[in-house]
Amino acid sequence: MTTVNKPQNELPLADSLQDENVLAFSTDSDILTQNSSRSIKVRKAPSLFNVITGPRGSLKTLLLTMLACRNLLKCFYFRYYGITKHVWTNYPIGFYHRSMLDDKVYYLKPEPLNMESLYTFDAGLASGWVYIDEIDQWYDRQDWAAVTQKLTNAVITQIRKRELSLGATTQNFQWLNARAQFQTDTLINCREAAFTPWGRKFGLQMGHVSFLTLKDLSGVNTGYQYAENFRTYNTKLLHGERYWDKYDTNFQFDPMETKARYTIKRDAKTLVLGPGGYKVESANQLDNMNSKQSNPDVALFSDVIEEFREQGKVSVKPYEIWSKANELGWHGTTSQGGSILGILGLARNRYEYILDRNADINEDAGNRSVCGGKPSPHSPNSNKKAKAKAKAKSQEGK
């Protein structure tokens, strides 16, 4: 295996890409694939589920970011040889990198992870690495009976067939679902070095160094499970300053979103037995299902819409959506954008898209209109009520 060293002239992380000489690279893009004349042998690595634990501030997310950045570099250089790998994360990561092959500057970032795609084992989730920070927010053992946890259990048991590896962080390993604990290959415990006697002696500041203790729970690393010999197979030092500017350490997850409950609608089938054999009848026709993860534009527009909702907007003009999507790297047509918004279930009247999920949609003279709790005064139902009231008053007068 070839190790790619970090160039000394790598640029710091920035909020936006304003330099026209900087090229954006994400693992879902087709950039660099034209250089397929090169050839390289890549060793097939095992699919692993690794969990990083430790108390608050023990550099868990920093270690996860380091692993994601290293695999992003692998994906970047694999593209020069026509090999496509992916990296997904549920929190933003990004950094500049000057290619050692063409001397151009690229901004590397992973693909945003759609948790619903993980629940359903989307076809687009294959051949790559998935990194989930604070996984207990979705995978808490207290909610072991939730539908999403049962689906995720099934997903993790089949990651080898997808050539997919998962990395996750949680403060306490016992918070995870029992099946997730069984599926864990490597358990990595982090300890903030600044709190240790060694760190205090040398005046070490927080966030610089973490002691790592690795346990081989499944035996994939040493050949022996931790339950057999109760030995830690490795200890390491993590120096984190290099990755400080690659992510936002204050990024937070919304508990109201992470604890959302799902119900699964599945195709119900009936076996009808007869003297000549049997036949299968389907009660629900679930055709034309949408895949958010395999179509990155759907995830991009979903982020755009959520950003407008967070700003408190209940409606938005189409040109505002196109403009925001263009800033995030979308270059499609308005008709394509309209189709994607249709997939996301966004309603629209004549002039704007409606962001309020609780809005009612009425059809009036062939035009879609959206109203809140009260019906529109021009709707057919309101006209009928007005005529009925007028008729009742005229009868009372007689």
The answer to whether residue 362 is domain-embedded is yes
Question: What local confidence, expressed as pLDDT, does residue 61 receive?
Answer: 94
Q: Which amino acid is present at 221? A: N
Report the C-alpha gap between 127 and 44 in whole angstroms. 11
For residue 336, the domain's CATH number is 3.90.56
Residue 39: pLDDT over 90 = no
pLDDT range class, residue 117, cuts 50, 70, 90: confident
Residue 216: pLDDT over 90 = yes
CA-based nearest residue to 295, from 78, 43, 125: 125
Report the C-alpha gap between 271 and 260 in whole angstroms. 34
Residues 246 and 306 both lie in one domain: no
Pick from 256, 283, 318: which residue ends a domain? 256
Q: State the average pLDDT over residues 151-164.
A: 87
Question: What local confidence, expressed as pLDDT, does residue 367 receive?
Answer: 43
Residue carrying the six token digits 């026509």: 82
Length of the chain: 398
The answer to whether residue 109 is domain-embedded is yes
Question: What local confidence, expressed as pLDDT, does residue 371 receive?
Answer: 44
274 or 233: which leads in pLDDT: 233
Question: What local confidence, expressed as pLDDT, does residue 62 receive?
Answer: 94
62 or 102: which leads in pLDDT: 62
Question: What local confidence, expressed as pLDDT, does residue 32 receive?
Answer: 54
Residues 193 and 100 both lie in one domain: yes
- Reported as a single tens digit per residue, the pLDDT across 263-283 is 777 777 888 888 877 878 776
- Reported as a single tens digit per residue, the pLDDT across 310-338 is 888 888 998 899 888 888 878 788 878 88
Q: State the average pLDDT over residues 9-20.
A: 46
Report the C-alpha gap between 169 and 59 in whole angstroms. 10
Residues 220 and 344 both lie in one domain: no
The answer to whether residue 279 is domain-embedded is no
For residue 248, the domain's CATH number is 3.40.50.300
Q: Is the pTM of this model over 0.85?
A: no
363 or 175: which leads in pLDDT: 175
- Reported as a single tens digit per residue, the pLDDT across 341-375 is 877 778 888 788 888 766 554 444 344 444 444 44
pLDDT range class, residue 172, cuts 50, 70, 90: very high
The total of structural domains in the chain comes to 2
% of residues, the chain, pLDDT over 70: 76
Residues facing 238 on adjacent strands: 210
Residues 37 and 181 both lie in one domain: yes
Question: What local confidence, expressed as pLDDT, does residue 384 receive?
Answer: 57
Report the C-alpha gap between 303 and 113 in whole angstroms. 11
Task: List the Cα angle 295/128/171 in 5-degree steps.
Answer: 105
pLDDT range class, residue 16, cuts 50, 70, 90: very low
Tokens of 121: 């084992």
pLDDT range class, residue 9, cuts 50, 70, 90: very low
- Transcribe 112-146 into DSSP letters: EP-HHHHHTT-TT--SEEEEETTGGGTSBGGGTTS
Residues 200 and 323 both lie in one domain: no
The answer to whether residue 118 is domain-embedded is yes
The answer to whether residue 274 is domain-embedded is no
Q: What is the 3-state secondary structure (H, E, C) of 307-324?
A: HHHHCCCCEECHHHHHHH
Residue 386: pLDDT over 70 = no
Residues 222 and 371 both lie in one domain: no
The answer to whether residue 263 is domain-embedded is no
191-205, 225-239, 258-272: the lowest-pLDDT one: 258-272
Residue 226: pLDDT over 60 = yes
Q: State the average pLDDT over residues 130-137.
A: 92
Report the C-alpha gap between 363 and 301 in whole angstroms. 26
Question: What local confidence, expressed as pLDDT, does residue 173 receive?
Answer: 94
Mean pLDDT of the chain: 79
pLDDT range class, residue 201, cuts 50, 70, 90: very high
Question: What local confidence, expressed as pLDDT, does residue 218 receive?
Answer: 93
* Long-range contact pairs involving 297-300 (C-beta distance under 8 Å, separation at least 24): 297/330, 297/332, 297/336, 297/340, 298/340, 298/343, 298/344, 299/111, 299/112, 299/114, 300/325, 300/328, 300/329, 300/330
88 or 6: which leads in pLDDT: 88
Question: What local confidence, expressed as pLDDT, does residue 398 receive?
Answer: 52
Range(s) of the domain holding residue 301? 296-375
Residues 72 and 191 both lie in one domain: yes
Q: Tell me if residue 306 falls in helix, strand or coil.
A: helix
Residues 59 and 192 both lie in one domain: yes
Residues 62 and 208 both lie in one domain: yes
Residues facing 93 on adjacent strands: 247
The answer to whether residue 265 is domain-embedded is no
Residues 238 and 309 both lie in one domain: no
Report the C-alpha gap between 308 and 13 in whole angstroms. 25
Pick from 198, 225, 256: which residue ends a domain? 256
23 or 208: which leads in pLDDT: 208
Residues facing 274 on adjacent strands: 277
Residues 28 and 144 both lie in one domain: yes
Question: What local confidence, expressed as pLDDT, does residue 200 receive?
Answer: 93
φ, ψ (nearest 5 deg) of residue 68: -65, -40
Question: What local confidence, expressed as pLDDT, does residue 358 receive?
Answer: 61
Residue 65: pLDDT over 60 = yes
58-72, 139-153, 182-196, 287-301: the lowest-pLDDT one: 287-301
Question: What local confidence, expressed as pLDDT, does residue 94 receive?
Answer: 92
Q: State the average pLDDT over residues 41-52.
A: 83
Residue 111: pLDDT over 50 = yes
The answer to whether residue 140 is domain-embedded is yes
Question: What local confidence, expressed as pLDDT, does residue 73 receive?
Answer: 93
Report the C-alpha gap between 164 and 125 in whole angstroms. 8
Residues 63 and 151 both lie in one domain: yes
